[in-house]
Amino acid sequence: MCILCGEFVEQLHWTDIESKQFDTVVAGQHQRDRKRSRDLRTKICNEILHFYSINLKEWNNSKFLMTNNKGKMEVLQDLGQIWQKSEEMIGKPIDPLDPLLLERLK
């Protein structure tokens, strides 16, 4: 159980599963590789989210914190919530084919 949030951290979202044999979290086991992988995914997501003035941070190897420049914050259980919460935060749908976004990502 996570001491800070009081939730059980047992099942991983598919974005966190590196291999079928590691689909549950065991304290200390493979944590360094998992953290490195989560940090990389966070960096990639931020390349898109910064276009919308949103920042994503990996938190405690179990959740993500999403903030905007107005001080709003959301706690995400996994990356499966990222687009819905981003759209709620900016108040409009995110278009992954927006020409301005694609130009910025080049």
pLDDT (tens digit, 9 = 90+) per residue, 15-24?
665 544 445 5
> What gap in Å lies between CA 38 and CA 63, rounded to an integer?
10
Residue 67 is assigned to a structural domain of this protein: yes
- Residue 85 covered by a domain: yes
The rounded distance, in Å, linking the Cα atoms of 35 and 28 is 11
- Percentage of residues in the chain with pLDDT exceeding 90? 50
- Over the stretch 25-71, which tens digit does the pLDDT of each residue have? 555 666 788 788 889 999 999 999 999 999 999 988 888 999 999 99
User: Would you say residue 20 lies in a domain?
Assistant: no
Q: Where are the alpha helices (DSSP H) in 1-106?
A: 31-49, 82-90, 99-105
Greater model confidence, 78 or 67 = 67
Q: Which domain holds residue 104?
A: 54-106
Q: How many domains does the chain have?
A: 1
Asked whether residue 69 is domain-assigned, the answer is yes
Cβ-Cβ contacts under 8 Å for 84 (sequence gap 6 or more): none
Edge-to-edge strands, sheet with 73-76: 54-59, 63-68, 73-76
Task: Flag whether 60 is in a domain.
Answer: yes
Assigned domain for 79 exists: yes
On whether residue 97 sits in a domain, the answer given is: yes
Indicate whether 90 belongs to any domain.
yes
